[in-house]
């Protein structure tokens, strides 16, 4: 029972390089999310997709783009990586209604030099 799968688990980039973080869920959830986690700041929402075909900005969208490829997959792209984007990135999914909890992947640890 995989749940939410994120690839890669670790990545080191140089400033200015681009990269796509992949996320897939096998729970038939409608909604998917991308967060970043930084020390002392909790998790902050980057982008989310309420349903297949829709995406919306979260709290910290600058420097990122997303694609909801299909119901299962939701990718996050850094077009020109900056050191400030060094973080741990988490993908999550949920069934949608307010009282449904989000299920999280194990994260991608991204370092930008």
Partner 1 sequence: AQSVTQLGSHVSVSEGALVLLRCNYSSSVPPYLFWYVQYPNQGLQLLLKYTSAATLVKGINGFEAEFKKSETSFHLTKPSAHMSDAAEYFCAVSTTGTASKLTFGTGTRLQVTL
Report the interface residues with partner 1, using CB under 8 A. Answer: 4, 31, 33, 40-45, 48-51, 56, 58, 90, 92, 94, 96-107
**Closer residue to partner 1 in complex, CB, 17/43:** 43
**Closer residue to partner 1 in complex, CB, 62/97:** 97
**Closer residue to partner 1 in complex, CB, 28/42:** 42
| Residue 83 beta carbon to partner 1: minimum distance, rounded to whole angstroms | 22
CA distance to 47, 78, 81, 102, 111, per residue, from 15 (Å): 22, 11, 5, 32, 10
Q: What is the distance between the alpha carbons of residues 111 and 104, in angstroms, rounded to a whole number?
A: 21
**Helix, strand, coil content of the chain in percent (nearest 5):** 5, 50, 45
| Residue 66 beta carbon to partner 1: minimum distance, rounded to whole angstroms | 13
């Amino acid at each position: 029972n995989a749940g939410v799968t994120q690839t890669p688990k670790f990545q080191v980039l140089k400033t200015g390089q681009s990269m796509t973080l992949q996320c897939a869920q096998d729970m038939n959830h409608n909604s998917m999310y991308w967060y970043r986690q930084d020390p002392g700041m909790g998790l902050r929402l980057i982008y989310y997709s309420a349903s297949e075909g829709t995406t919306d900005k979260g709290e910290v969208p600058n420097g990122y783009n997303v694609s909801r490829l299909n119901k299962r997959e939701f990718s996050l792209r850094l077009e020109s990586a900056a050191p400030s984007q060094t973080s741990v990135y988490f993908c999550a999914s949920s069934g949608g209604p307010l009282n449904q909890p989000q299920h999280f992947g194990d994260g991608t640890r991204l370092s930008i030099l």
